Chains A and B, each alone.
Chain A
Amino acid sequence: MAQPVHDPSRHSYYVGDALYQELIADFEVVRRDDPTVQDLVERDMFRGLVEREARLLDRLQFKEWLQLYADECLYWVPSTPNGGDPRREIAVMFDDRRRLEDRVFRLATGFAWSQAPSSRTVRMVSNVEVFASENPDQRLVRSNFLIHEFWDDETRALAGWAGHRFRKFDGVWRISAKQVNLLVCDQCIRNPSIIL
């Protein structure tokens, strides 16, 4: 995969209609009952990446977490259970690289009252399935997640499933897009301010 022309941490030139179309099509794949990769080594490698992401988020290691993502990446939490079309619908979150860095920046300002003190979270990921692809440099991975979040006076469970689109850059698999499908995506959620 090629390196970007513009610095995506500063300028958002890569988020255009072609990208949206590709994104919608790719995340259709993880909704199908398509044959998944049976090779245990490959499956375990992707499982490891998804688990690593969960651990870094639990430990609030956002810098390291961002490094798991491709330079031109997307993070998408749809507001409808079927994913919908983010060109015509508001999402719970739809972030490019710069906005993901905005999130991390905001949390570090010391004035993000919704995360002062920070939520404590523990994430479980399971049911990891890797979908076969004709493109040797791309894999779609589906996994279930359960996040227990303690914040203020309450411990709550946020459950759902995620799709990860991995792409290989210089021999390294990175997350080029993540779709987080919350069970409560279309419901009123108290303090939706952790990174999922």
Chain B
Amino acid sequence: MTQMERVEALRPRNFGASYDWDELVQEDRVHHLLYTDAAIFDAEMRHIFGGTWVYLAHESQIPNVDDYVTAKLGLRPLIMTRDSDGIIRALYNRCTHRGTTLCRFEKGNKRSFQCPYHGWNFLNNGKLRGVPWAEGYGENLTRDPKFNLAQVPRVESYRGFIFGTLNASAPPIGEHLGPIRKPIDEWLDRNPGGKVVVCEANRIKYKGNWKLAYDNSGDGYHVLYSHRSLLETENRFVDENTEKGMSYYRTAPDEQPMYMQYMGNGHHFKDKRPNLQPRNGGLWAIESLHPGMEHVEQKLRRQFGDRADALLDLAGSEPVNINVFPNLSLLGNHIQVFQPVSFEETDTIWYGTRIEDVDGTIGADALNDINTLRMRTQEGFPNFGEVDDVTNFEQIQRGLRCQEDEWIYMNRGLGIPGRIHTLEDGTIKAPATDEMFMREYIKEWKRLMKAEPQLTIRREP
């Protein structure tokens, strides 16, 4: 029997009623307070980052028994462990004695964690194993579950992606993901064995609200302007290398076959794959220039002939943005995580992924070449594109200090007949530059902020 604890004391009475959410979030615009109000941010840490499923880590980061990696649920520091029985847990990184963090390293392999302050020792399943000079306590602390580490009560994986929530009544993760599972499946299944392995990251901090990144993740309207330096750079050899990268945004992006789709529960999806030639090598054909690409291409073509195109595509940057509310975005080959720090500061972590030669048909040498090239393609966008976006995010945060100018508009595409279509499965489709995804996801945000979530934590018995 597991111990579930309702967290009542933490819940300000009727927070949901303390703001007029329908005034702050309207059909075509949102109020700047969503980005600039510290109290709303604090509430988001409960209502959003406690009340719905949040991405925590990838299983490939803790492949072996006793592996751990630190993570966050909103602002809560966690230790993600694969415990000695192989069970994945999201332990609160908080000693039950007087509250210090137990683990200050990012990753490792440990059966137990000893508190650096007074030496309480916890197993990696969260159970208190022992305390120094136990006779100084009138009872045996290890028999009282309240001294076991708190942990996220619901931890579930979807194909290697580990999610957690404090909301005991949340639906199972598969159900919560719903239609966004299809693009996730496709993103995985283009890799051998349908899997990827996380490997290090590009990490960028910006002084702005976390939603600025989520607003951007589905935004096809900014590409040509915010990323103009990138587009010009990747196409600087116009005589022989035209139409690289995201050049398909250059003319009439809304008439391109790419599209955006709202997938429910705050998730949305930008699919640029229809812009590619539908053949092996179609992705590689538009890949911009990266270190070593000619070398690897020449080698793979010699060794694999026609199959080389499909292998080169594995190093190419998959043209999708799969955005899982509130903090996960699969784009290119990256697993990007949005990590709120304060209402005006956010960390974005772009975990890289590599592939495995699951059925042994690639061979160690070619696998090494493909993965190496895949590292280089992944470094491209954070270095040449994202830096300009985050600068614009920071400048939004600054512009919003003009507090009398209250509104942020997201009305592109709204009310134009025939532009937006609701499909049979309830998902909604729109042209690539539409702001429909913002209007839809912020409705889910509003629903969660109005609700009074029943947050729980759990301890081992």
User: A residues within 8 Å of B by Cβ?
Assistant: 6, 10-17, 20, 74, 79-80, 84, 86-96, 98-99, 102-103, 105-107, 109-114, 152, 186-193
Contact A86 B372 (CB under 8 A): yes
Contact B387 A192 (CB under 8 A): yes
Look across to chain B and name the residue whose beta carbon is closest to the beta carbon of A151: B391
Q: Which of B43-51, B187-195, B348-356 contacts A (4 or more CB under 8 A)?
A: B348-356
Interface contacts beyond A12-B293, A90-B201: sample of 12 additional A-B pairs, CB < 8 Å, sorted by A: A15-B292, A16-B292, A17-B368, A91-B375, A94-B291, A111-B232, A113-B388, A152-B394, A188-B339, A190-B205, A191-B387, A192-B204
Look across to chain A and name the residue whose beta carbon is closest to the beta carbon of B352: A90
A94–B435 alpha-carbon span in the complex (Å): 35
Say yes or no: A105-B292 contact (C-beta < 8 A), given A89-B375, A90-B201: no
Majority-rule SS of A interface residues: loop
Contact B387 A88 (CB under 8 A): no
Contact A188 B291 (CB under 8 A): no
Q: Which residues of B contact A113 (CB under 8 A)?
A: 226, 229, 388, 391-392
Interface assignment of B376: CB less than 8 Å from any CB of chain A: yes
> For chains A and B in complex, what number of residue pairs have CB atoms within 8 angstroms?
144
User: B residues within 8 Å of A by Cβ?
Assistant: 106, 199-207, 226, 228-230, 232-234, 236-237, 289-296, 298-299, 339, 347-350, 352, 354, 365, 368-369, 371-372, 375-376, 378-379, 383-384, 387-388, 390-392, 394
A114–B390 alpha-carbon span in the complex (Å): 8
Contact A105 B371 (CB under 8 A): no
Contact A188 B349 (CB under 8 A): yes
Contact A112 B379 (CB under 8 A): no
Contact A106 B233 (CB under 8 A): yes
Contact A20 B226 (CB under 8 A): no
Majority-rule SS of B interface residues: helix
A88–B371 alpha-carbon span in the complex (Å): 7
Q: Which residues of A contact B206 (CB under 8 A)?
A: 190-191
Contact B295 A15 (CB under 8 A): yes
Say yes or no: A12-B392 contact (C-beta < 8 A), given A90-B379, A111-B228: no
Say yes or no: A20-B372 contact (C-beta < 8 A), given A106-B384, A188-B347: yes
**Smallest CB separation, A103 vs chain B (Å):** 8
A191–B354 alpha-carbon span in the complex (Å): 26
Say yes or no: A105-B233 contact (C-beta < 8 A), given A17-B368, A17-B372: yes
Q: Which residues of B contact A192 (CB under 8 A)?
A: 204, 383, 387
Contact A189 B203 (CB under 8 A): yes
Q: Which residues of B contact A191 (CB under 8 A)?
A: 204, 206, 387, 390-391
Contact B368 A13 (CB under 8 A): no
Contact A99 B291 (CB under 8 A): yes
Can you give 6 A-B contacts (C-beta < 8 A)? A20-B372, A90-B352, A103-B383, A112-B387, A190-B204, A193-B387
Contact A89 B199 (CB under 8 A): yes
Contact B228 A89 (CB under 8 A): no
Q: Which residues of B contact A111 (CB under 8 A)?
A: 228-229, 232, 388
Look across to chain B and name the residue whose beta carbon is closest to the beta carbon of A184: B203
Contact A114 B388 (CB under 8 A): yes
Contact B379 A91 (CB under 8 A): yes
Look across to chain B and name the residue whose beta carbon is closest to the beta carbon of A100: B291
A187–B354 alpha-carbon span in the complex (Å): 21
A16–B375 alpha-carbon span in the complex (Å): 13
Q: Which residues of B contact A11 (CB under 8 A)?
A: 294
Contact A112 B388 (CB under 8 A): yes
Say yes or no: A12-B233 contact (C-beta < 8 A), given A94-B379, A186-B203: no
**Smallest CB separation, B99 vs chain A (Å):** 24
| B347, B349, B375 — most chain A CB neighbours (10 Å) | B375
4 closest pairs, A vs B, by CB?
A: A15-B292, A90-B352, A188-B205, A114-B387
Contact A90 B292 (CB under 8 A): no
Contact A16 B200 (CB under 8 A): no
A79–B375 alpha-carbon span in the complex (Å): 12
Contact A87 B205 (CB under 8 A): no
Say yes or no: A188-B352 contact (C-beta < 8 A), given A16-B292, A17-B368, A20-B372: no
Look across to chain B and name the residue whose beta carbon is closest to the beta carbon of A93: B383
**Smallest CB separation, B377 vs chain A (Å):** 10
Q: Which of A107, A110, A188 contacts B203 (CB 8 A)?
A: A188
**Smallest CB separation, B366 vs chain A (Å):** 11
A107–B232 alpha-carbon span in the complex (Å): 11
Say yes or no: A90-B372 contact (C-beta < 8 A), given A114-B387, A189-B205, A191-B390: no
A102–B298 alpha-carbon span in the complex (Å): 22
| B298, B352, B379 — most chain A CB neighbours (10 Å) | B379
